[in-house]
Amino acid sequence: MRDARQSEHEEVRIVRGTRTGATITVAVYSTERGPAIGGCRIMSYPSWREGVRDALRLSEAMAMKSALAGLPYGGGKTVAVLPGGGLDTTRRLDLITDIAEVVAGFEGRYIAGPDIGSTPDDMALIHRLAQGNAFCRPEAEGGSGNSSAATARGVVAALIAGFHHRYGVSSIAGSKIGVIGLGHVGHLAAESLAREGARVIVTDIDSSLRADAERNGLEWATTDLLRDELDVLVPAATGGMLTRETASTCRAGLIVGPANNQLADDSVDALLHQRSVTWVPDMLAGAGGIIHAVSREKLGLDAERTNAVVGQIGDKVGQLLAYAQERHVTPLQAAREISSDTDSKVNA
Ligand SMILES: NC(=O)c1ccc[n+]([C@@H]2O[C@H](COP(=O)([O-])OP(=O)(O)OC[C@H]3O[C@@H](n4cnc5c(N)ncnc54)[C@H](O)[C@@H]3O)[C@@H](O)[C@H]2O)c1
């Protein structure tokens, strides 16, 4: 039973970077399954408290992601609040060094990875300064490199499995799919879905991406994808897009995408469920990248075997949605129950 007065996080450190003054939060939700892993987010926030709140939410989601993916790791997250006015190259290196110092203090209980605002090169520096506790260094330095392609592969596997559950067919050819966010993951996923024969409509706040998208067979949206009639909506931008308001007007039958923390709050999951919109939890749909990093760097699997493990996300999505249907629970409840069940098996 949750006691709302007590933190569920195992450990949270909020540190003012000695070189940059940036507020850096490292939140470790749990190390029960193994060391906590989670990305390092560097972005601007309205206040440092918002940064801390994001670290708390994202680290909990990472714990669920690891458990659902069956990885021998717990969940953690770093959030560094970008100082006003941004950072030049030297100050940015100072910030990564500040972050590495905090990561090093966890002595292996937390392992960093890239996320919004950080790169495989940053992980190489953290790896050097924090006793090797960073994933996804560039391949030339012995790491598994950028994980976006694996994340996109996992999203496509999750989408096809979700499609089968929702519509009873496995082929997405001819379906209408909307993708919000054409960044590292979004553009790879969108192009791959178009290759499968879907009509893929895309949007991004960066309109300079339009020409490239159209060259690659994607349609640029002229309407609001969050309100359009779609077979599938793919949130691939930032989190929090599914609010009570957008969920109550959303006309997609299925929502599945990589964006972390898509639901503004847990009540949105229930609202989507009531409205018969099938939502695939992002903790599972977006797990391809972390599965790739762990499989290559820690489990020593080759590229082919790693791709096969990433592809198993499809089976896991099918199982999760079937579990939710059989027990009359929402997908988020199902994800919580399945992940805590795998945690208790680890602890047994
Ligand atoms: N990269 C990975 O391997 C990975 C793994 C797991 C989860 N994720 C999550 O998936 C999402 C996408 O990751 P990414 O690496 O492609 O990020 P990215 O920063 O490369 O791309 C995000 C894109 O979304 C666009 N965008 C932002 N706000 C938008 C809005 N309101 N409407 C439309 N477009 C908007 C940005 O312009 C950008 O092009 C993020 O939430 C990330 O945390 C990524």
In this predicted complex, what is the ipTM?
0.99
Please work out, in degrees rounded to the nearest 5, the angle formed at the alpha carbon of residue 127 by the alpha carbons of 124 and 132.
145
* DSSP letters spanning 19-68: TT--EEEEEEEE-SSSSEEEEEEEE--SSHHHHHHHHHHHHHHHHHHHHH
Q: How many Cβ atoms sit within 10 Å of the Cβ of residue 259?
A: 23
Kindly state if the Cβ of 206 falls inside 6 Å of ligand 1: yes
What's the 187 CA to ligand 1 centre distance in angstroms?
Answer: 10
184, 85: one domain: no
> Does residue 77 have an active-site annotation?
yes
| Token pair in block for residue 332 | 């988020």
Kindly state if the Cβ of 185 falls inside 6 Å of ligand 1: yes
**Catalytic residue from among 77, 176, 298, 345:** 77
Kindly state if the Cβ of 236 falls inside 6 Å of ligand 1: yes
Question: Which of 204, 209, 223, 225 gets mutated to test ligand 1 (max ligand atoms within 8 A of its CB)?
Answer: 204
Taking 50 as the pLDDT cut, the residues of the chain under it are none
CB neighbour list of residue 180: distance below 8 Å, 6 or more residues apart: 186, 202, 203, 204, 225, 226, 233, 234, 235, 236, 237, 241, 257
221, 302: one domain: yes
Question: Which of 238, 283, 296 gets mutated to test ligand 1 (max ligand atoms within 8 A of its CB)?
Answer: 238
In a domain, 304, yes or no: yes
35, 167: one domain: no
pLDDT of amino acid 311: 97
Helices 313-327 and 148-167 sit at what angle, rounded to 10 degrees?
Answer: 40
Write out pLDDT tens, residues 283-311.
999 999 999 999 999 999 999 999 999 99
Among 141, 163, 197, give the residue marking a domain's end. Answer: 141
Q: Quick check: 78 and 55 in contact, CB under 8 A?
A: yes
In a domain, 62, yes or no: no
100, 16: one domain: yes
Kindly state if the Cβ of 151 falls inside 6 Å of ligand 1: yes
115, 256: one domain: no
Among 122, 141, 160, give the residue marking a domain's end. Answer: 141
Kindly state if the Cβ of 218 falls inside 6 Å of ligand 1: no
pLDDT of amino acid 165: 98
In a domain, 280, yes or no: yes
Question: Which of 54, 79, 136, 151 gets mutated to test ligand 1 (max ligand atoms within 8 A of its CB)?
Answer: 151
Which residue minimizes the CA distance to atom 33 of ligand 1? 204
pLDDT of amino acid 262: 96
Helix ranges restricted to H, 181-330? 184-195, 210-215, 244-249, 267-274, 282-285, 288-297, 303-311, 313-327
105, 170: one domain: no
210, 114: one domain: no
Q: Quick check: 97 and 59 in contact, CB under 8 A?
A: no
Closest-CA residue to 103 (of 148, 37, 54)? 37
127, 39: one domain: yes
284 phi and psi angles, rounded to 5 deg: -100, -45
321, 189: one domain: yes
* Residue 173 structural domain: 148-347
Residue with tokens 């489990």: 299
126, 154: one domain: no
pLDDT of amino acid 109: 98
In a domain, 226, yes or no: yes
